[in-house]
Structure 1
């Protein structure tokens, strides 16, 4: 028949025979439940109490002790109704236990394994320590299993660092990485595969792992002996050295000068703003957001496969189109695109420089699909694209005054070509004691 023992949260051991309730016993000095196991060799229940002690209670003592239903009776009534519950043996391990397991193998003596928070212990049936191992990590689960060496026991110990350690008694034999933190581990035999390690994670992920490899039964056939033709070997070696030399030439690795590039890209910014603004979805609440035209030309000296042009500007600047894909370019051919740049956000950009990048492939004899290459160029946008001249005002919210003991440099010299009409600030430039910036951000 099947006997079942259940430990409750209040420290009561309830024993059932099949579906029938047999009896219940309260453990003495109980505070919190701990791991519980049964040893068939000594017919005892072994648990770890909240006092950090391993305690063993024989089934016979539990059966003849005072019934748990009479716990509320007086001490005199308890003594008259039955024997007091006495522990068989106690071992203080000085830490809380995570799990407890009783193992018995043919080649090893019966042992009680206890996994603590910083150590795991191997005990004899009478509670004496056979050996203990101090752990330098936080364990999460363990399982002892049969060892191939006589008189030893192997133990799998998982930790919170996703590592599974394999010990032979106290000697670390192997460590392996797991994809999750194991909360339970077992060793199983699945069909013809022995020694499968089954682990379960805290989120329900089940994994079957296998340590070691199966031997390969394939044997390479013997190579027929033949005479070596040194002339063919020399010719093949010369051909390989030629290929290596061509592939490692410095002229293909180091950047080429601008005059001899396979593909060049140039950008030309129009000196005038667009007569009709090309701004799209701008956040600026102005009557007309100015835009400027940029003309980009791609000139190829060789065959360029899959050329792709990308135009980048500093936010909040934007372009009407930032990606262009062309057909393959033949040698000495060119492509030209025109786009407009405008201020999209309601703030000033950190810089007025844009960048054009062209990626393409050039086929070679050794690589017909082509080698990926990149060509790029920079262009600078006019200041009047984001700023406009304004009349000087002493009541302005923001004003910058620079005092100097030398004649100031003309704004036209410092910012050439930034404004189309600089007549507004012409009078201020002649004042030697100060220069006032009269630019208004759009």
Structure 2
């Protein structure tokens, strides 16, 4: 069997960016002239009527072929043509909207000048609905002659009947959950539909007309739940799948049948519900139409599918397959002028086509192939060049397109040197006045690009006034600039003052690209100068190998509140309320940062190191380095971990309690419903009081869970700040290389956001355990450190704190971080050092379950990686306050 294309006789595209469905197409002789017209209604509410008259097959649409175009107020769900007006048997147009049915009369006036004929629609009557309509069917209900009655099916399964201009009655289909296709059979005077139970159901019109409310019957208890009317089906057949459409056919040479198009099968039933035949389809159908009967007892059916094909069946035998240029959602057969049997198809995007089935002669002749000898040397050279190009492309392949490699599009972010005069902060929860700072984002393109999207991201709780922008197009060689503002939205400091701006676009060849750049926000956005504080709970000391520097030269923007005589002391007050003091020694190259909260030391420490490096770069000093003498603040860091984990435990408890109270609430509701439905009133036995109390408990638990989630979000940000500080101190303590710092940051900061399904503790524990088993392993015994293939929330943090302590122990004895170093190489690196194995740590942890256990290992962190000498943990560093 050959596969041919459907020959295009006439086609057009209906509208622009409009949507269509099964009921949006109708073919009928609407003007009663003897020739069919094509009626199309869209979900945008535009009604169009076409009269195709092409000069030759495949010709473009002429303006006079669109005889009517009318904009209606509501989306059009279905269009039908029938005898809908009383007193006449002329055809009229019924247009179904979601809440309204309109019936129009279509008429034309013959033109006497060159402008042609004129057509117009006249509204005859309307019916407004109280329920949302789904579809309609029509016919001579009850055996009436010369007029068509209308039945509207709503989304809740109610059938509303109209005797042309007047309302008749409404009935609910029993057990209806979702509406299905609905058709009327005039031979049996019944309605056929497919329910949400995947059953073909048949209802007699007489049964629908005489049905009464179930509440007036004595046997109301026997009614099904959800049924509003006492209805009985004439017959019912289970087809086991949802139906796309139903057609009732009655041809001269074939018996009257009911065809149902399912998702995978085509069913044909007799009028009494018996199955005549069934055809299993090997594709996904989209629409169908039984259109004629050629042989006696057979039915020819057109079926369109999602593979852009139109298939013709004679009962269950495939007779023809034609290729379509689109996926049809509706198909009809029309008669235009002297051409009969034109196939009219409509796609969901508005491609309307009139085609015929057959073949056209092809005059194309394939040219003769030139025979030539193959040059294998030339082919080998070309193959080598292609392999070289492929290899280079594989090496340079990158997900993120970098502007340095290709300057098709560039993005740049400039941060304002000063804060905004008028703050742009909005919807913040900070107690004090919140400043803002402006960002200017500039996008320059070498070529003309379309659909450019800009995303600006900053670390929470910082916020941007507008983080998503869209540009329809950027012309060649032009630039676009936008100005945004960044401010602190919540009452706690961020873990990082960095941000990035990403631009996604498509090249002229259609290749998607992403260009991005990073920027850094100033420290004065979240803190301001204040008088320094003498006492603090947490202190860290940073040493340098260069002469001391006055704080006034590296922090000129924070000298407002400091004493002029003491330029080696600065005070920083965060907008959240915390105060950080920075002290510099006059005689030694030592700096101390102190604060009452451990995690708030991070941003000042980072800013101090960064500004010292910039200062000595300007001074052209070589080999500048910052050092941390120790000990590592393990106990303070572990307190942050415990605080975060405790809130995660509370979140799980609130979730369980909410689930229990919800089950209890639903159980009480079921008991109350049983009491209310009982004919004999019985006491409620305080069920209403119990229901009210359970509701109050649910509301209180929901508020507590929401508050706990907000606290967890804040504590996770503080944990990230403390982790940044802890990682930085380890790097200064052991003089780690940039590659080692990258590994350490990836180990301790694997998540940007925390969740109950994947939390920070289990991710960090798995990463640290992996380092201990690989590059930091001392012996084969370390290879057996317990690990799980599935990350789950641990019972406590003891195991995590044990692994972090062991990691610091290995680094203190000369261990180095590498993703390629195996256990044998690492053993030679840290040979001669007595490593505390995991078993010893477990025994020590059993002796004491409190965090004080880890303070016993501080002597491990005191050891210098070069000298090998230990320092007493209680020995204070040189007293910086005395130097000032």
Q: What TM-score do you get using the length of structure 2 for normalisation?
A: 0.24
Greater C-alpha radius of gyration: 1
User: Higher strand share goes to which structure?
Assistant: 1
User: Higher helix share goes to which structure?
Assistant: 2
